[in-house]
């Protein structure tokens, strides 16, 4: 038996793991119509992926992201922005908030802005663009939710909950490693020592 090299989890593999979790056979494509389970599984995977990414991680958060004013005097936020936190230093007296995909100035009661802004933006990324630790955690969390909604078995819930907790721990550990955190460099209490 040939041993395959490990590769990052695909969306199809994640959905097949969810299907196996409720005793269903795997599928070869997410496009073909296989009945209700596949669309439900892909919907659950998407929902959990958005929920996890909304927390904001090193791989999907950008700081000082420029948001320029367009020719109409409006600012449109990227379509995959899950959260936008404006940098108050660039607001110039305006009170920007996101409404739909546009920035609204609550102070001026208008969508028209006279300057570009900067913001911290949490982006929603496609499943295949996520780091493997994130895919791993999202898959197990989606499995548990999918099992709960499709099968409703307490025994399955307990097993999948333990898997989810292990996956979350792996994900947090990887995230911490990626940040290269340093107590002396990255905490306000010690930063003045530099």
Assign 3-class secondary structure to 63-131.
EEEEECCCCCCCCECCCCEEEEEECHHHCCCCCEEEECCEEEECCCCECCCCCCEEEEEEECCCHHHCC
Q: What pTM does this model have? A: 0.81
What band does 171 get if pLDDT is binned at 50, 70 and 90?
Answer: confident
Q: What pLDDT does 176 receive?
A: 81
Average pLDDT over residues 11-22: 92
pLDDT at residue 190 tops 70: no
d(CA 103, CA 86): 10
Q: How far is CA 193 from the centre of its chain?
A: 35
What pLDDT, in 10s, does the model give residues 58-110?
Answer: 999 999 999 999 999 999 999 999 999 999 888 888 999 999 999 999 999 99
96: closest CA among 78, 80, 70, 116? 116
Residues written for the chain:
194
Q: Which residue has the tokens 């669309």?
A: 39
């Amino acid at each position: 038996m040939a041993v395959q090299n490990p590769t990052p989890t695909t969306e199809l593999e994640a959905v097949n793991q969810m299907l196996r979790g409720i005793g269903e056979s795997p599928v070869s494509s997410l496009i073909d119509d296989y009945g209700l389970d596949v669309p439900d599984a892909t919907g659950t995977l998407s929902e959990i992926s958005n929920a996890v990414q909304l927390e904001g991680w090193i791989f999907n958060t950008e700081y000082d992201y420029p948001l320029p004013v367009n020719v109409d005097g409006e600012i449109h936020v990227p379509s995959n922005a899950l959260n936008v936190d404006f940098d108050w230093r660039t607001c110039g007296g305006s009170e920007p908030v996101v409404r739909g995909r546009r920035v609204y100035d609550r102070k001026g009661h208008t969508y028209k802005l006279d300057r570009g802004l900067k913001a911290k933006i949490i982006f929603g990324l496609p499943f295949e663009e996520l780091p493997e630790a994130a895919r791993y955690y999202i898959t197990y969390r989606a499995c548990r939710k999918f099992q709960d909604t499709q099968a409703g078995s307490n025994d399955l819930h307990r097993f999948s909950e333990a898997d989810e907790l292990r996956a979350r721990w792996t994900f947090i550990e990887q995230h911490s490693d990626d940040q290269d955190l340093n107590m002396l460099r990255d905490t306000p209490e010690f930063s003045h020592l530099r």
